[in-house]
Structure 1
Amino acid sequence: MAETEQPSRFEINGHDLSITEPMITGRIESELGAPEDQRNNNTSGSNLGIGERAFSAAGAAVLSAIIVNPLDVVKTRLQAQAAGVHYSHPLSNLIGRMAYFGPNTMFADLRCSPSCTRAGVHGTVSICPPDCFQYKGTLDVFNKIIRQEGFARLWRGTNAGLALAVPTVGIYLPCYDIFCNWMERFAEQYMPGTTPYAPLVAGSLARSLACVTCYPIELARTRMQAFKDSQIGKKPPGVFNTLLGVLSDVKGRNPQSSCRLISTVHVSVQGYRVLWTGMGAQLARDVPFSGICWSTLEPLRRKLLGLVGEESNVLTVLGANFSAGFFAGSLAAAATCPLDVAKTRRQIEKDPVRALRMTTRQTLMEVWRDGGMRGLFTGVGPRVGRAGPSVGIVVSFYEVVKYVLHHHYATS
């Protein structure tokens, strides 16, 4: 609130008297009815447009996707192995041997783990036993991927992650800002008791919108991270080729029809649906995740920002948002881990008929039957280790860029 003094003139018995009285002028947030604690602690500048918000979110998404991708790969491998994906060296099957010992392929070390004993020799190359390619925990996944596939493979799916993160976060965070501000203003005017629930509802709606829009890329990323390459020396498929592989599975399993047109239409419709396989599980994971995350993050960061009051700067905005985001993201990731396991299992299902028929509830029951509580929380370590820093990086970078842009516009 800004307070200015406005002189008022009165005439009494022919004499002019000047009386100074305060006149209060309010900010835009006051006129719109934003909560007082939000106005005091809001460093992001509510006058920024959707373009500035989307730019801030896209930068945050790129930074986060690159930094935390290895943990995402590890988490996906552990969950895929629990779902029945068999990890082995290409020499364990005939096709792999033919590809490996082809005329244009050099003999190379199979790079067994130090704890494994050599099982035998195929020509001039030692063959590792199958257990050398089974993952026993988070650190074991890191070690075996680096030794057997190379350090760069920890960033497998980063291109899909970037292709997914930029539009997803570019939709998610700006929409959350807009929804949350609108809901808080509405609640303050008509239902004051519901104001604390605005972040929960806004986060759930924004995440649902982003998920539905960008889901096929998420499907491609999970498959790229879950499956190892069957042929050595062959470049792994990218996002587009991975999605084409999903569609080819549907086409290959479609029975021949006497009417070619009907068959083509059927394949087209089935292919369209299969690109959204597991979206129900994704929404079942992301909506509670966003609700838990934002309902925890908002009051925590407002409290942290309230400790510094009006003396906030870039460092305090960064610290408060990263701390709140780290804690909220870790809590939400741990709570929704079973739904993440179900999402991964549905996305890596290669039988399109089964993939389209399975529901999230059936998948969770299947996981419980196979592995119990431990199965439901497969990969919880790397998931929490990824989500905490990821949310902290995204939210803090997003708010810092908005803070800088807001002050730039305010001083220009």
Structure 2
Amino acid sequence: SDFRCYPWCNPGGLKLSGLGPSCSPECFQYRGTMDVFSKIARQEGIFRLWRGTAASLALAVPTVGIYLPSYDLLRNWIEEYSDHSYPKLRPYAPLIAGSIARSLACITCSPIELARTRMQAFKQSSGGAKPPGMWKTMLGVLSSRQSISHPENLQTTRGYHLLWTGMGAQLARDVPFSAICWMVLEPTRRHLLGLLAGEQSNAAVIMGANFSAGFIAGVISSGATCPLDVAKTRRQIEASRALDC
């Protein structure tokens, strides 16, 4: 059958004059992950699945560069402090260090995260305009008119604080994620290393223990914070959707 689902078509099969072609309501309904992949590839092209890769790479470097060193420094400091002054605090060192380190990384990199989310949520217009890149997307956030195709005409009347739109929801997702992840990962890794390694540890055993502990911690923390991830994504794209209507 003819697959008539265009990014700019009218929902519900309504034929509205001057507003582009109509399409089936199924074009806007997804039945699962593979259905999302299939419809995006057929409607907008296979490379649309990699939309926002540049922003993801630009986000990964500063995030990891801030997050992991901060976590190690804070965890070591808290463990040293607990050994000398408050031993009961030591089991909670990964939780506290992970929460603070993730907060620093989120606050610093929130504008890039916002740009990536909006780039991935971008819908192609009927005019076939080229999707904006990371910098144009960030400029569009600042613009009261969202004129991303003419950045020289932008009027930054809303203030730079808009680049941190959705940061509260992002912190509400990432901080509990990191706290749960490190709180589960560290003791699980030590336990697995104690069971598997013994006195004859090797690279394969250590790698297997790290992988298993990371997998368990990732599953638990992702499942616990998934609703917060949905809230963060909706918060970051709601303004751009309102302007597109």
Q: Which TM bucket (shorter chain)? A: 0.7 to 0.9
- Give yes or no for the alignment of 1:211 onto 2:106: yes
Greater strand content: 1
2: CA distance between counterparts of 1:166 and 1:95?
Answer: 45
Letter aligned with residue 210 of structure 2: N
Structure-1 separation of matches of 2:79 and 2:126:
55
Change in 2 beyond 3 A, CA 1:311/1:283 = same
Please point out which of 182, 205, 218 is paired with 1:316.
Answer: 205
Aligned residues: 226
**TM-superposition CA deviations, 1:114-144 (whole Å, max 9, x none):** xxxxxxxx7xxxx642322322322211121
Q: How does 1:7-406 map to 2 (within 5 A)?
A: 89-92=7-10, 97=20, 128-231=23-126, 233-249=128-144, 267=157, 270-307=158-195, 308-350=197-239
- Once residues 334 and 238 of structure 1 are traced to their aligned partners in structure 2, the CA distance between those partners, rounded to angstroms, is 31
Q: Rg larger in 1 or in 2?
A: 1
Quick check: 2:181–2:220 contact (8 Å CA) kept in 1?
yes
Equivalents in 2 of 1:338, 1:239: separation in Å?
26
Q: 1:158 to 1:335 in 2, by over 3 A?
A: same
Deviations 1:162-185 (A, max 9, x none): 100111011101111111111111
Residue identity in the other structure for 1:167: P
Distance 1:220 1:95 in 2: 31
Kindly indicate whether the alpha-carbon contact (under 8 Å) linking 1:274 and 1:352 is maintained by their aligned counterparts in 2: no
**Structure 1 residues 215 and 94: alpha-carbon distance in aligned structure 2, compared to 1, 3 A threshold:** farther
Whether contact under 8 Å (1:133, 1:144) holds in the other structure is: no
- Partner SS for 1:349: helix
Q: CA RMSD in A?
A: 2.7
Cα distance in 2, alignment partners of residues 146 and 221 from structure 1:
19
Structure 1 stretches of 4+ with a deviation exceeding 6 A read 93-96
Shift of 1:310: 4.3
Aligned amino acid, residue 346 of structure 1:
R
Change (3 A) 1:159 1:251: closer
5+ residue gaps, structure 2, are 11-15, 148-154
Q: Percent identity?
A: 64
Give the number of the structure with larger relative contact order, counting CA–CA contacts within 8 Å between residues 6 or more apart: 1
Q: How far apart are residue 157 of structure 1 and its match?
A: 0.9
Q: Secondary structure at the match of 2:82?
A: helix
